[in-house]
Structure 1
Amino acid sequence: MQMKTTSVAAVCASVNLNIHKAKTKVLKYNTENSNPITPDGETLKDVESFIYLRSIIDKQGGSDADVKARIGKAKAAFLQMNNIWNSKQLSTNIKVRIFNTNVKTVSSTVQS
């Protein structure tokens, strides 16, 4: 991993690009190697998980944390609209449309 990172840093430098070391994180997946990654002598921060394209990536490689987070967000969105769900003035059809646009989109796996 160190060799690949050094190689990427060298190619970046050759075209006047820099790796922002404060923003760059390392997630080691399925490895015994605990050596730090140090491009240009500066150690990159090791993390347990991070968010990439609205999905949680973690060391286990599964989607459990991501699914739990999406369910939690959908539950929060649902509970915020409690007055809508209890309203006698809105039809069931309108409530379903509100649910589809405000709750289902939060937990959706396809996000733009």
Structure 2
Amino acid sequence: MQSLLIAPSNNASMFGMCFSPSKCKLLLQDWSASTPELRIGSEVVERVDNFTYLGSLISPNGLVSDEISARIRKARLAFANLRHLWRRRDIPLSINGRVYCAAVRSVLLYGCET
């Protein structure tokens, strides 16, 4: 597995780029053997249980239940942050609906294919 990490690192260095070990993470999917220790140069790549990539939660089992829970939490937070708006009586319900669609529903559905 270490050789799979060395090849892109060597190719990147040919173009003046380098891998930053502090920004690299190791996520093992369905790995039953002992956890390997991968290195970039002399630094060990950190092993994580899940990580966020382009706003979506990636889990080792490949299931989306963790991602759905995270999306619901983020949408609930967005809704709660607009609490002051929902309580105002001078704002028409149609405007509140448009704000909901733009600020809450978009957070909930981010990354979903339609």
Normalised TM-score (structure 2): 0.84
Partner of 1:74: 75
Residue-by-residue CA offset, 1:10-47 (whole Å, 9 max, x unaligned)? 21222222111111111111122411112324221111
The answer to whether residue 37 in structure 2 is matched with residue 36 in structure 1 is yes
Is 2:26 the counterpart of 1:22? Answer: no
Q: 1:96 aligned to 2:97?
A: yes
- Say if 2:26 and 2:46, in contact at 8 Å, map to a contact too: yes
Tell me which amino acid in the other structure corresponds to 1:23: K
Helix, strand or coil: the match of 1:56?
strand
**2:65 — aligned with what?**
64
Q: Which runs of 5+ in 1 are unaligned?
A: none
**SS of corresponding position for 2:4:** helix
1:27-80 deviation line (CA, Å, top 9, x unaligned): 111122411112324221111111100001111211112111111111122122
Partners of 1:91 and 1:42 lie apart in 2 by: 57
What fraction of aligned residue pairs are identical, expressed as a percent?
23
